[in-house]
């Protein structure tokens, strides 16, 4: 158990844990739906994910090195928070399951949330090449367009204004030196 837990303490292990967690969640959702709990799938999934998180932390805790000569153990806190989280998440699962009525959240424009997320991710990933100013300026313009803004002068003005503002405040006034990007670096 300890060996398995410590062997998972790397990127591949993280991917394996996330994958296993997702598979378990899908399986659990199928079971919940088959038991006639379709009206509260989201709330049940949330409680189940919390159980998984607690379970994963508790499992990985077994792989943490312990110095026998020390009075305190690095495993203590993850166990101290993980066990109650697991128990409370199970309680929440039971509560949601047994509740006569669960108010389901309204799902709006999830597609827009996804697009916004992708745009922000793209901006973050282009920091190195395009630099902070161009990336965030472009991100601002694209996000405004995605959210329905059609006054192009306003969009261009806001983007340019933002780039100038951050350059002045962070690079010139606060001397924080935001990256200019490999593309524009001398």
Partner 1 sequence: MELFTHLWAGLQNLLGIKPVLVVAAGVVVGILGGAMPGVSPSMAVAILLPFTFGMSPTMGMVMLCAIYLASNYGGSITAVMINTPGTPSAVVTAFDGYPLAKNGRPGYGLGVSLVASVWGGFVGIIILILFSAPLAKVALKFWPAEYFSLALMGLSTVSSMAGKRWVESLIAVLLGLLLNTIGLDHVNGVNRFTFDILNLFDGFSFVPALIGLFALSEVFQNVEENDYSAYKTVTDKVSVWPSVREYLSLKWSILRSGVLGTLIGIFPGAGGTIASFIAYDVEKRLSKHPEQFGQGALEGVAAAEASNSSSVGGALVPLLTLGIPGSASTAVLIGALMIHELRPGPELFTKHPDLVYTLFSSLFMANVVLYLLGTWGSRLWIKVTQVPKTVLYPMIFAFSIVGSFAVRASVFDVGVCLGFGIVGWMLKKYHYPLSPIVLGLVLGALIETNLQMTLVMGGPALLFTRPLSATLLAITAVLLVWPVIVELREK
* Residue 59 CB, nearest approach to partner 1 (Å): 11
CA 61 centroid distance within chain: 21
38 binds partner 1 (CB under 8 A): no
Considering only residues 93-152, where is the footprint of partner 1 by CB under 8 A?
Answer: 95, 105, 107-110, 112-113, 116-117, 120-121, 123-124, 127-128, 132, 136, 139-140, 143-144, 147-149
Residue closer to partner 1 by CB (options 117, 184) is 117
CA 117 centroid distance within chain: 11
**CB of 110 closer than 8 Å to CB of 101:** no
28 binds partner 1 (CB under 8 A): no
Output DSSP code: residue 38.
G
Residue closer to partner 1 by CB (options 36, 65) is 65
Q: How far apart are CA 41 and CA 47, in angstroms?
A: 10
* Residue 154 CB, nearest approach to partner 1 (Å): 7
185 binds partner 1 (CB under 8 A): no
Output DSSP code: residue 169.
I
Q: Which residue from 2, 4, 9, 122 is in contact with partner 1, where contact means CB under 8 A?
A: 9
CA 63 centroid distance within chain: 24
**CB of 90 closer than 8 Å to CB of 28:** no
Any idea how long the chain is?
186
* Residue 168 CB, nearest approach to partner 1 (Å): 12
């Amino acid at each position: 158990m300890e060996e398995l837990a410590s062997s998972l303490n790397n990127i591949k292990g993280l991917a394996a844990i996330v994958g296993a967690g997702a598979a378990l969640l899908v399986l659990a959702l199928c079971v919940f739906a088959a038991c006639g709990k379709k009206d509260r799938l989201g709330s049940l999934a949330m409680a189940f994910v919390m159980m998984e998180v607690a379970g994963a932390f508790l499992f990985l805790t077994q792989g943490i090195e312990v110095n026998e000569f020390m009075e305190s153990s690095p495993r203590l806190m993850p166990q101290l928070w993980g066990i109650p989280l697991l128990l409370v998440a199970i309680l929440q699962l039971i509560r949601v399951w047994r509740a006569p009525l669960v108010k389901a959240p309204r799902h709006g424009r999830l597609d827009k949330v996804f697009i916004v997320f992708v745009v922000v991710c793209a901006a973050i990933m282009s920091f190195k090449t395009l630099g902070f100013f161009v990336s965030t300026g472009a991100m601002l313009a694209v996000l405004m367009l995605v959210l329905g803004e059609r006054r192009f002068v306003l969009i261009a003005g806001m983007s340019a204004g933002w780039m100038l503002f951050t350059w002045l405040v962070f690079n010139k006034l606060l001397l924080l030196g935001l990256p200019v990007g490999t593309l524009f670096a001398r």
